[in-house]
Structure 1
């Protein structure tokens, strides 16, 4: 009897599972051997549903007639394939580099033909492109040429190294990838070609270099240029921009390049003038920035390993997908270069899995926006199809890119229902709300998405609406208040209570006098700091109160400044860390400044340095809180005002520190500047020394612990 009761819940659960499995959409229960992620504006990792599902492996079943017996077929697999192209008919072309041939497959992956150009054999071809007429261009790397074949695979023309006086003699012509525009102009990526793409006209004449990367010039390089002699500088290893690794072109004729060995701007979207459209002005701000591409989920085991994007493709919606040859991630961005997804799985397994690409050498997209990734190690092409979630994101994002914000609202709501942490959906809904005039909701959503400019624009509209509604009332209050103050002043100017107020006795309590001395320092800094040194205008308790007030004001500024000017307030701000950092810097300054002053003919005592360094922080107390409050009613339109006030605050504190050193140590202006410079240098050295000491202490502790374990075991 008991056995039957136990079986009933189990049978009910099993029946429910079978029913759900039967009703689930196709592919909903498919296993995906990789994780898909997104990173929000704060760099936080977000886990999402799979954007693409692996569906097939192509190119493994290639059979050709046996040269000895044409009536038989022999297996002829791909060998180190380097490039992939899909034409308008969704036919797949593969640069089979190891076999010196081009392999053509139909959309289902069945072999159509093999092209080896018998009249002029290929040698290690690494790139190919098919134009609108069906002509096939091959980067025949081993032969140092580009060949043009007709749609039947017959040789039409070859493009060897162009003969031009504008082409440097040191330039090595080793074509690896190429595209051809509608005019027939060739854009060729060459091995190590740091000058950019080689642009040739249809006849093979050199036109120019196109889309070169900029040289990375660091602060250290600038210092070397100033300090080194010409001979010393020339002996340095020349800094060259990164060479283009691959190139593609979209239906609008825009050319996309990808570069491996540069820290920013790895992907470029170039118009005919060579301008990078991905580095253009932000849609809300006028600031031009070069973006960083190539995502990682967690820091790799090899700390020196960095993303190395080696190929990219652009689908029909303008989305850019790039593959990472080093970390094996697939990165997808929209037409503006904003991240949509990135995914990757464990490639360390000894066995191959559907969906895990061990060595991605090329990527392409067909007319259905399906992705095909060429796996050089497995000698095959893996096919990926958009999932329901990925298709919904593409649809919504496409509408947003086209400016159809209101139409994108429902798709974005569906995306957000599927994944409430997916930031692009929140941002899309924020733009839709802003377009509809629902600025309160837009402000909230922009804040959630971490988009400061959109938040500022929405708040500007809210503030404008409030002023329009209350302008009359505000003007009446200002007018009545002004007239009232004027009349009060005139009518009470000669009254007894006003006279008594002017002649009131000032407080003589030492603590009050010492605290009020901070205001005197603001007006007469040198005399004020001198009075602390010689007239006892400062004390331990007054300095301690001043320090506490300064720390509190600084903490309020860090935590209370508007999101518009301090986006980090959205994150969990640890005020304890802020306070400790402030104290560490202040204590380091006091110790360093006192040590340098004792060596550098200073006259101030240690307590003078302490008292003066606390009173110099007084601007934080009187400016910090008002500036924090003002920031919450300002927008980015007033950013110059906010920056002026915040920068002015720091300059004011720095000036007071300078005058403190000059007055208390009895220095000249030059000696004060040298004292501060040496104090800052000492602070840096102390910081490095403490860091090394703690590091060695941990090592020493581990060493003694290992000895202890060794002794106790034996």
Structure 2
């Protein structure tokens, strides 16, 4: 390569690197010191907010009389309140009632007359009928037990042309839909979730993440020699970190993608249909330091009325969004106090309570709503049911507790808009900085004003035209008189 061309190429690379570093560093690198409970403003600033949830009690294996939990990895709550804890290090599933009192322990099952156990299981799922699915990772299989803890089937060593010949099945997390299709997040799989039919046969992959390339790495790869490029990491899609499923069969998933969308909602075709109508796309923390980096969302839980919560493993925070992607509240953190964690690994809901599992400490923390959190939850539920008037009342209460809650102003604006109160809707959308709905409300308000004052406006226009005609004729007559007198 000529020297001048080499210098030009290096100059372009340097400029691009500076630009990338400037954009990333200036946009997110410096995070403001924030309180334990906070929100983000329209301008992306962290502002203090009332606590939506507070930690009320803490439980571990010893306090429950079951022996210490050892690196638990997952937990699940059935609709009847039964709590399942996957005590991975002890190769067992612990079952508790809604008061977190022990019911029993599942540490194995009978298969063909022989007793078998689990080996470092990583995920579990329970159906409404009480069927238990366990990602038995160490044994490279999924175990399906019925409501009596008896074996129904085992899914292992799937065979398909879509799988490589040397593929090793290592299930990590899983969910089951109403048709008993099993969706598995497997280690080392970059093609999305593995879908199994109700009989346990492998069907296909769904929801593969897109490949996002780091511009700096791409530029360096362009400049590298063939030998250096062969030693570089291939650009591959990121793996998912967790998944959950709602009553309608939509899969909510999190991944470790820094450049794409870390939260997705997948339909049956694997297409992401998550609504992102908030001020920022759901991603956890908007601000972060260079030492912590962006949020690493490790688990997701879907509640009623399309509300969902994600758990950040980096700083131990829980972020809750509504179905439109508006951030509702943030709580949690890392530390030694009640309500803080060491290594948060899983999150689930028990009614309106939120349970968080700490892997390193083997503890479950229960969070319960404050008045502020209860009001926000009920506002979202009322709006989801189509009761805009009731939702507006709850949003009014939320604003009285937190005047900086721009999302609540938007909620009131939507309620006023649907009720035809366009002037009030314009007012609240202006306060919420919701430009799209503000424009819509303003157009409707303008039409309403024109419709109500149409007769007055038209009379004024006709009168103005008549006056103009009369003035024009008067000027012409005056001009003719001047010509005649001359």
Give TM-score, length-normalised by structure 1.
Answer: 0.56
Which one of the candidate residues 418, 429, 433 is aligned to 2:401?
418
Per the TM alignment, residue 234 of structure 1 is displaced from its structure 2 partner at its CA by 7.8
When the two structures are aligned, how many residues end up with a matched partner? 442
Which one of the candidate residues 276, 285, 296 is aligned to 1:295?
285
Distance 1:221 1:267 in 2: 24
- In structure 2, relative to structure 1, the CA distance for the partners of 1:291 and 1:170 (3 Å cut) is farther
Structure 1 portions without partners, runs of 5+: 1-33, 65-74, 284-288, 497-714
SS in 2 for 1:460: helix
Does the CA-based 8 Å contact 1:316-1:369 persist in structure 2? no
The aligned residue for residue 202 of structure 1 is 198
Give the alignment of 1:328-339 within 5 angstroms. Answer: 328-339=316-327
Per the TM alignment, residue 79 of structure 1 is displaced from its structure 2 partner at its CA by 0.5
Distance 1:230 1:477 in 2: 82
Larger radius of gyration: 1
Per the TM alignment, residue 231 of structure 1 is displaced from its structure 2 partner at its CA by 10
Does the CA-based 8 Å contact 2:315-2:333 persist in structure 1? no
Distance 1:270 1:312 in 2: 14
Say yes or no: does 1:476 pair with 2:462. yes
Does the CA-based 8 Å contact 1:105-1:111 persist in structure 2? yes
Q: Which has the higher helix share?
A: 1
The aligned residue for residue 146 of structure 1 is 142
Give the alignment of 1:488-637 within 5 angstroms. Answer: none
- In structure 2, relative to structure 1, the CA distance for the partners of 1:81 and 1:222 (3 Å cut) is closer
Q: Write the deviation string for residues 119-138 of structure 1: whole angstroms up to 9, x where unpaired.
A: 22211101001112211110
Give the alignment of 1:164-563 within 5 angstroms. Answer: 164-169=160-165, 171-217=167-213, 237-279=233-275, 282=277, 291-295=281-285, 299-300=288-289, 302-303=290-291, 305-347=293-335, 352-366=336-350, 368-468=351-451, 469-470=453-454, 471-473=457-459, 475-476=461-462, 479=465
- In structure 2, relative to structure 1, the CA distance for the partners of 1:220 and 1:121 (3 Å cut) is same
Q: Write the deviation string for residues 562-581 of structure 1: whole angstroms up to 9, x where unpaired.
A: xxxxxxxxxxxxxxxxxxxx
The aligned residue for residue 113 of structure 1 is 104
- In structure 2, relative to structure 1, the CA distance for the partners of 1:486 and 1:275 (3 Å cut) is farther
Does the CA-based 8 Å contact 2:298-2:345 persist in structure 1? yes
Distance 1:201 1:39 in 2: 42
Q: Write the deviation string for residues 580-614 of structure 1: whole angstroms up to 9, x where unpaired.
A: xxxxxxxxxxxxxxxxxxxxxxxxxxxxxxxxxxx
- In structure 2, relative to structure 1, the CA distance for the partners of 1:324 and 1:226 (3 Å cut) is closer
Distance 2:337 2:390 in 1: 39
Q: Write the deviation string for residues 464-485 of structure 1: whole angstroms up to 9, x where unpaired.
A: 2333425414643774588689
Higher RCO (C-alpha under 8 Å, 6+ residues apart): 2
Does the CA-based 8 Å contact 2:64-2:101 persist in structure 1? no
Distance 1:113 1:479 in 2: 89
- In structure 2, relative to structure 1, the CA distance for the partners of 1:387 and 1:191 (3 Å cut) is same
Distance 1:212 1:49 in 2: 38
The aligned residue for residue 23 of structure 2 is none
Per the TM alignment, residue 156 of structure 1 is displaced from its structure 2 partner at its CA by 2.7
Distance 2:275 2:48 in 1: 27
Distance 1:492 1:226 in 2: 83
Structure 2 portions without partners, runs of 5+: 1-34, 110-114
Q: Write the deviation string for residues 147-189 of structure 1: whole angstroms up to 9, x where unpaired.
A: 1122233333211121111223465421110011111110001
Per the TM alignment, residue 371 of structure 1 is displaced from its structure 2 partner at its CA by 0.7
Q: Write the deviation string for residues 479-533 of structure 1: whole angstroms up to 9, x where unpaired.
A: 4588689879989999x9xxxxxxxxxxxxxxxxxxxxxxxxxxxxxxxxxxxxx
Per the TM alignment, residue 256 of structure 1 is displaced from its structure 2 partner at its CA by 1.0
CA RMSD in angstroms, aligned pairs only: 3.5
- In structure 2, relative to structure 1, the CA distance for the partners of 1:483 and 1:234 (3 Å cut) is farther
Per the TM alignment, residue 413 of structure 1 is displaced from its structure 2 partner at its CA by 1.5
Distance 1:199 1:482 in 2: 76
Does the CA-based 8 Å contact 1:320-1:337 persist in structure 2? no
Does the CA-based 8 Å contact 1:101-1:114 persist in structure 2? yes
Q: Write the deviation string for residues 260-285 of structure 1: whole angstroms up to 9, x where unpaired.
A: 233332111222232322147x59xx
Does the CA-based 8 Å contact 1:443-1:458 persist in structure 2? yes
Give TM-score, length-normalised by structure 2.
Answer: 0.81
- In structure 2, relative to structure 1, the CA distance for the partners of 1:170 and 1:326 (3 Å cut) is farther
Does the CA-based 8 Å contact 2:92-2:105 persist in structure 1? yes
